[in-house]
Structures are given as structure tokens and as C-alpha cells.
Amino acid sequence: MHKGSCLCGETTVELGGSDFTEQIVCHCTDCRQTSGSAFSTNILVPKKDVTITGPVKQFDMKAASGNTVTRVFCSNCGSAISHLTPAFGEAQAIQTGNFSDFAKVPITTELFVKDRWTGLAAISGAAQVRAMT
């Protein structure tokens, strides 16, 4: 079980199921804007294994793929919590920056490397995905 929280601590996220052994870095424009940084760090988790408690707000937008992406934020402090899209099937992306224990989980994939900021090197050993379809 992994437990994390937003910046203010009012929204918590609990992840059940298996232990996580890999993370994803995403360099797409939407993830950069959501994180307020050069990329976001995420894991994909079956929706049934995710419990989000506390004040949240959702924002729907159209991705470049044409899919609707639902971004979930703490409605108090604005921390990014999760995002969902039909492309993930029965899973949802969870932002791992809200969990202290994910600092030790390896990053195995980088997405949207075509949008990676100049000066940021590729993560050694991680799969490099130019974009998603």
C-alpha cells in the first residue's frame, strides 16, 4: 500500500494492489503545464486500486490525440493528483510527486521525448517514446 497527499494534506491518495517497480516521465505540454515543471512523473494504476479522499476538482480537455483527458487536482492547494483518458483503459495515471516513497522507484519510460526541454538528458536505461498515438 502506498499513501500520498497533496501539498496542503487535505487530499490523500491510497494505492492498493501490487508494489510498483517502475515510473513514467512525461514531457508533453499538458503534463508540463499541470506540474508547473519540465515534466511529470507518473505511474499507471488500475482504477479499482485507487482511493482519492478529500477536496478535488476535475478539468476536462482535448489532447492532441482527440481523446478527452480528465485532470484531477486538489481543490484547495491545486496539487495535481491524477489524470484519466480512454487511452489508459481501466487504469489511471497517478502523479508520483505526491508520494515520498516513489523517489526510489526507477523511471523506466520517458514519453513525448520530442518535447523534452533542451538541456535535459535522456534517463539512462529508460525507453524513449517520441510521442503517443
- Average pLDDT value for residue range 55-77: 92
- DSSP letters spanning 31-99: HHHHHTSS-EEEEEEEGGGEEEES-EEEEEEE-TTS-EEEEEEETTT--EEEEE-GGGTTEEEEEGGG-
Mean pLDDT, the chain, whole residue set: 93
Question: Rounded to two decimals, what is the model's pTM?
Answer: 0.90
Chain segment 37-57, per-residue pLDDT in tens? 999 999 999 999 999 999 999
Identify the band that residue 133 occupies on the pLDDT scale cut at 50, 70 and 90. low
Give the 3-state secondary structure of residue 21: coil
Name the architecture of domain 2-128: Beta Complex (2.170)
3-class state of residue 12 by DSSP: strand
- Share above pLDDT 90 across residues of the chain, in percent, rounded to a whole number: 82
Distance in angstroms (rounded) separating the CA atoms of residues 50 and 44: 10
Bridge partners, 112 (sequence order): none
